[in-house]
Amino acid sequence: MNTNSRSSPSLLWLSIAVLLLLLFKSKAFFSFKLGTQLPEISLPATTEQAGDPCGEVKRCIVAYVAPWCPHCEDAIPLINAIAHFSKTRSPVLGFKLVVGRDKASTLAEYSKSFNVPAFLDVDDRFYHLIGSPGIPAWVLLDHNRRVIHRFSGSPVGLPLDELVEWMIFGEFELGPILANRKCMV
| 6 and 57 in a common domain | no
Residue 185 lies in a domain: no
Q: Based on the fold, state whether residues 130 and 83 are members of the same structural domain.
A: yes
What element of type H or E holds 34?
A: none
**18 and 40 fall within a common domain:** no
Which residues in the chain belong to E strands, given as ranges? 59-65, 93-100, 118-121, 137-142, 147-152
Q: Which DSSP category does 43 fall into?
A: -
Residues 14 and 62 in one domain: no
In a domain, 83, yes or no: yes
Say yes or no: 70 and 13 in one domain: no
What is the domain range of residue 8?
1-31
Contact between 145 and 37 (Cβ < 8 Å)? yes
What is the DSSP-derived secondary structure letter of residue 40?
P
pLDDT band for position 132 (50/70/90)?
confident
Look up the pTM and report it: 0.77
Q: Which amino acid appears at position 164 of this protein?
A: V
Q: What angle do CA 50, 138, 105 make, to 5 degrees?
A: 60
Q: Clarify whether residues 18 and 86 are in a common domain.
A: no
Looking at the fold, whether 150 and 115 belong to one and the same domain comes out as yes
Instruction: Report pLDDT digits (tens) over 38-66.
Output: 777 778 777 776 678 888 888 889 999 99
Number of folded domains that form the chain: 2
Here the CATH number for the domain that contains residue 146 is 3.40.30.10
* Mean pLDDT (whole number) for 155-166: 85
3-state secondary structure string across 54-95? CCCCCEEEEEEECCCCHHHHHHHHHHHHHHHHHHHCCCCEEE
Is the same domain home to 22 and 55?
A: no
Indicate the pLDDT class of residue 100, thresholds 50, 70 and 90.
very high
Q: Are residues 44 and 3 in the same domain?
A: no
Structural domain includes residue 184: no
Within this chain, do residues 92 and 175 fall inside the same structural domain, yes or no? yes
Q: What pLDDT, on the 0 to 100 scale, is given for residue 20?
A: 59
Amino acid at 12: L
**What's the CA gap between 61 and 13, in Å, rounded?**
40
Q: Is residue 21 situated within a structural domain?
A: yes
